[in-house]
Amino acid sequence: MYWLVVIIPVLLAVAYHGWLPEMIVRPLRRSVNLDPQDLGFAFESVVLTTPDRLELAAYYVPATIPARGNLVILHGKDSAKELYLEYLPQLAPYGYNLLLYDARAHGKSRGEFTTFGYHEWRDVVTAVDHLRYLAGDLPTGVFGHSMGGAVALQAMARSEAIDFGVSESTFTHLGDIIHVYARRKAGIPLPRWLTDRVLDRAEKTAIFRHREVEPVRAARDVHQPALIIHGEMDRQIDVDNGRQLYAALGSERKELYIVPGAGHDNLTEVGADGYWWRLRAFLQSVTS
């Protein structure tokens, strides 16, 4: 047991001063050799410029029938826009103009760090405005998965430019989910006070305020129509997060869809046709 007394403090010190703060805010960059044309869809490569002058790589995919609405798709942490191309055949043929972009510090976009919505919400508003410019002034909303859902809620709470939104597999409080994430990555039961200190260091690295990243608090200021989706068996972000977000929404028109048997990243696979039917039914209701 003596070695535990020695090694655990060392591991905790390394976690605090070393790799954990960096891992939290510096995403993995994923390169996927795929584009909408590979799925048979016409598209335009677009560069979005954020308010703080970062360039974000994007795809604009127009609807293949007369359009009824516009939708910006936001991916999760350590992901990329190409991993959401499965949404094209399920939405573009039903009248939705789509804009998919790599979040800052992801994919082919510029930037070093992610801040889980603290800065990114302004990027969403930039994307929404640009999609309207490209596709016309139709009802325009956002769809976000995991971190993307957190960003979507924070943007909806702050901008009337967004007409509706879908948040999927999303957390309520950044501090809570980072605690779970850090324990999983470290492989030992890190105390909460330590992960809070790790976040304090991470926010100095990425220049943001982590205690202000609370999607559940943002949800109270969301008054647009909103759909919350969550996997019943999500082991990364427990389904109770989705229920709490739904309860907190200030929207008069809000829906909660718990996908039976689904985890964090397999909702479209497990939900299958029922998933797509539910998503399109919501979109149709807010764009008719």
Instruction: Looking at the structure, tell me whether residues 115 and 143 fall in a common domain.
Output: yes
Whole-number mean pLDDT of the chain?
93
Please tell me the total count of domains within the chain.
Answer: 2
| Domain termination residue (choose one: 212, 242, 269) | 212
Instruction: Looking at the structure, tell me whether residues 88 and 104 fall in a common domain.
Output: yes
| Domain termination residue (choose one: 155, 189, 212) | 212
How large is the average pLDDT for residues 63-87?
A: 98
Q: What is the pTM of this model?
A: 0.92
pLDDT tens for 203-216 read: 999 999 999 999 99
Instruction: Looking at the structure, tell me whether residues 26 and 158 fall in a common domain.
Output: no
Its domain, for residue 20, covers 1-30+174-212
Residue 7, CA distances (Å) to 10, 13, 185, 188, 224 in order? 5, 10, 17, 11, 51
Instruction: Looking at the structure, tell me whether residues 106 and 239 fall in a common domain.
Output: yes
Instruction: Looking at the structure, tell me whether residues 185 and 256 fall in a common domain.
Output: no
Q: Which of 124, 136, 37, 125 is nearest to 74 (CA)?
A: 124
Instruction: Looking at the structure, tell me whether residues 238 and 252 fall in a common domain.
Output: yes
- C-alpha–C-alpha distance, residues 98 and 48, integer Å: 14
pLDDT tens for 109-134 read: 999 999 999 999 999 999 999 999 99
Written as six digits, the tokens of 200 are 């304090």
Written as six digits, the tokens of 179 are 């605690």
Q: Which of 171, 140, 150 is nearest to 239 (CA)?
A: 171
Written as six digits, the tokens of 147 are 């971190």
pLDDT (0 to 100) of residue 60? 99
What's the farthest any 2 CA atoms get from each other in the chain?
71
Lowest mean pLDDT, pick from 96-105, 184-193, 275-284: 184-193
| Domain termination residue (choose one: 212, 239, 263) | 212
Instruction: Looking at the structure, tell me whether residues 122 and 15 fall in a common domain.
Output: no
In 19-174, at which residue ranges do the beta strands (DSSP E only) sit? 44-49, 55-61, 69-74, 96-101, 140-145, 164-168
Instruction: Looking at the structure, tell me whether residues 273 and 147 fall in a common domain.
Output: yes
pLDDT tier for residue 180 given thresholds of 50, 70 and 90:
confident
Instruction: Looking at the structure, tell me whether residues 191 and 74 fall in a common domain.
Output: no
Instruction: Looking at the structure, tell me whether residues 4 and 135 fall in a common domain.
Output: no
In 164-215, at which residue ranges do the beta strands (DSSP E only) sit? 164-168
Instruction: Looking at the structure, tell me whether residues 72 and 106 fall in a common domain.
Output: yes
